[in-house]
Amino acid sequence: MNNDTKKLVWEPPFIQPHRMGEINKFGRARLHDNSKSSVYGVSVVELLRRFGSPLFVTSEKQIRTNLRNTKKAFERRYGSVVHGWSYKTNYISAVCNIMHQEGSWAEVVSAFEYEKARALGVPASKIIFNGPNKPKFILERAIAEGAQIHVDHLDELQLIESIAKDQDKVVAVVLRLNFDTGYTEPWSRFGFNIESGQAHQATKMIALSSHLNLTGLHSHIGTFILEPRAYAEQVRIMCKFMRELESNEDFCIDTIDIGGGFASQNALQSVYLPPEQVVPPINEYADAICTALLEGTQYRRQIGRELPRLIFESGRAIIDDAQSLICTVVGTKRLLDGRRAAILDAGTNLLFTAYWYNHQVHTTKASEGTVADTVLYGPLCMNIDVMRHSVQLPPLSQGDNLVFSPVGAYNNTQWMQFIEYRPNVVLVHENGECSVIRMCEDLSVMMQQDRLPEHLSMPFPDTSAMARMINSGTIARRS
């Protein structure tokens, strides 16, 4: 046999028993080569050389394009809209300022986020202050500065009223509502419930107060909502509520805020079909929302009143595909069940969303060798640190790079500082230049917030130091 001498690609010899009921060579066949050597037009090799691995790469162009397209979809159908950038989705300063330059307001949900928006230079009048926990000091500031406050519960409403009294002001508030659209599980823990009458009760309180004025309605029906009709129903319910309010009380609602929740092109682990097939295009959301809103506000046009301002707080749909994570294989294994596995220098510490998404994974150079089911592990000493439970990849070896995408939503905010430094985040500018927008952590960052009491200043004090501390009573004598 002459092929005895033919060169073979090295891979450890391996035999795999067939399990009946799951055999299909082409079942999960990916296209022969889906490697990509660049992200957002910049070479992966070059990026890693300059900024190290792992590395988050963000595209300014993609963010701007996503935002413009989404706004256009609403403007064409309804007229003026405001996008509130949901800080929690990604609050890296450069990302926020790209949004603001496109005209987006800041949607913040905590004292930190409020302070950050102000520090970036966002005027309070362009801050939407959401969230269930708004401590008094920050409410005082937000009210004094004139931010748009969305009320979550009755205690907060009372607190706002008392601050308004102290500051001798009439504060415009927006009421956060919750209700059942019939399409999604109601997020009934946030805001005031319509069906139970809580919301009406709150509006009564506002009507009775000389320091409060109700000017808007808000609700956020959930996240990654695949059904545009859920929004149509949301808007119908909100408009009905608005109409009742306007006919019974002396309110004039000028803002309808529909929250966020449009799905991004990402693959939820719990959804069978791929995102291209289940995620509706932005126009379908806009259609459902604007049609319902134009219908629901017709009564206002008839009486010559202006249409309310539409605010949407889309997070993941704007940012998700504008960021990728590049990482490096640190080692490979064969698992006992025969599958291939690789250990990466980035795990769920950086890619928190790997817990519920099957992110796309691309190799960065074309490779020979058979594509097979592979498990991708992160670097943590936790069993649940799995980046992909099952993905079809060619054989990997140490030093290979992988690109995860889309990763822009909720990772740069929910990532956790556990045993590893967090890496650089870079931005690819519209002209193709790259710069760091968040520096990688190092030891000084990690220790900066620590404080050592004097007697703990040394890990291994010598005996005389010990004696001094015992004598002075700083530490107790051990028997």
Partner 1 sequence: MKATRHKGKSWQNYKVAVTGINARAENPGPGCAVARCIQEHPQFKGSIIGLGYDALDAGLYARHLCNNSYLIPYPSEGEEALLYRLSQIHRAEGLDAIIPCLDSELQNFARLKSELQLMGISMLIPTRDQFNLRAKNHLSTFCESIDVHAPESKALSNPSFFESCEKEGWKYPLIVKGLFYDAYVVHSAFEAKTVFAKLVSTWGYPVLVQKLVIGDELNLAAVGDGKGNMLGAVTMRKKALTEKGKAWAGVSIVDEGLTKVAERIVAGLNWRGPLEVEVIKGYDGKIYLIEINPRFPSWIYLSHAVGRNLPVAVLKLLSGVAELELSEPTSGTFFIRHAQELIVTLPEFETVLTEGRLAPQMVQDQIIRSA
Partner 2 sequence: MEELLSRTGGKVPSRERLSQLAVSETGFIFDPQTGQSFSVNPTGLVVLDLLKRGSTLDVASSSLADRCGTPAEIASSSVEAFILQLGRYL
Ligand X SMILES: Cc1ncc(COP(=O)(O)O)c(C=O)c1O
Q: Is 397 in the site for partner 2 (CB under 8 A)?
A: no
Quick one: what does residue 397 bind among partner 2, ligand X, partner 1, none, with the CB cut-off 5 to 8 Å set by partner type? none
- Six token digits for residue 166: 């102290």
Contact code string over 353-392 relative to partner 2, x by CB under 8 A:
-----------------x----------------------
Contacts 24+ apart (CB under 8 A), 110-119: 110/134, 111/135, 111/137, 111/138, 113/87, 113/88, 114/138, 114/141, 114/142, 114/147, 116/87, 116/91, 117/87, 118/145
The rounded Cα 155 to chain-centroid distance in angstroms is 28
Which helix (H) or strand (E) segment holds residue 158: the answer is helix 154-166
Quick one: what does residue 462 bind among ligand X, partner 1, partner 2, none, with the CB cut-off 5 to 8 Å set by partner type? none
Strands (E) located in 285-409: 309-312, 323-334, 340-344, 360-363, 372-377, 386-393, 401-405
CB 252 to ligand X: min, Å: 23
**Judged by CB under 8 A, how many residues of this single chain contact partner 2?**
16
Among the candidate windows 91-99, 255-263, 358-366, 448-456, which touches ligand X by CB under 6 A? 255-263
Nearer to partner 1, 291 or 332 (CB): 291
**In whole angstroms, how far apart are CA 298 and each of 8, 243, 294?**
73, 10, 6
**Judged by CB under 6 A, how many residues of this single chain contact ligand X?**
16
Question: Which residue of 308, 315, 378, 408 would you call a contact of ligand X, by CB under 6 A?
Answer: 315
**In whole angstroms, how far apart are CA 25 and each of 31, 34, 168, 388?**
13, 18, 73, 20
Q: Report how far residue 375's alpha carbon sits from residue 390's, in angstroms, rounded to the nearest whole number.
A: 5
Nearer to partner 2, 132 or 331 (CB): 331
Which helix (H) or strand (E) segment holds residue 38: the answer is strand 38-39
Q: Is 31 in the site for partner 1 (CB under 8 A)?
A: yes
Q: Does residue 459 sit in helix, strand or coil?
A: coil
Nearer to partner 1, 47 or 225 (CB): 225
Contact code string over 2-21 relative to partner 2, x by CB under 8 A:
--xxxxxxxxxxxxxxx---
Q: Is the dihedral of CA 60, 37, 25, 391 positive or negative?
A: negative
Nearer to partner 1, 200 or 229 (CB): 229
Q: Is 277 in the site for partner 1 (CB under 8 A)?
A: yes
Question: Which residue of 90, 130, 234, 323 would you call a contact of ligand X, by CB under 6 A?
Answer: 130
Question: Which residue of 54, 228, 260, 408 would you call a contact of ligand X, by CB under 6 A?
Answer: 260
Name the residues that contact ligand X, by CB under 6 A: 86, 89, 107, 130, 220, 223, 259-262, 313-317, 409
- Where along the sequence are the contacts to partner 2 (CB under 8 A)? 4-18, 370
Contacts with partner 1 by CB under 8 A lie at 18, 20-31, 182-185, 227, 229, 268, 270-274, 276-277
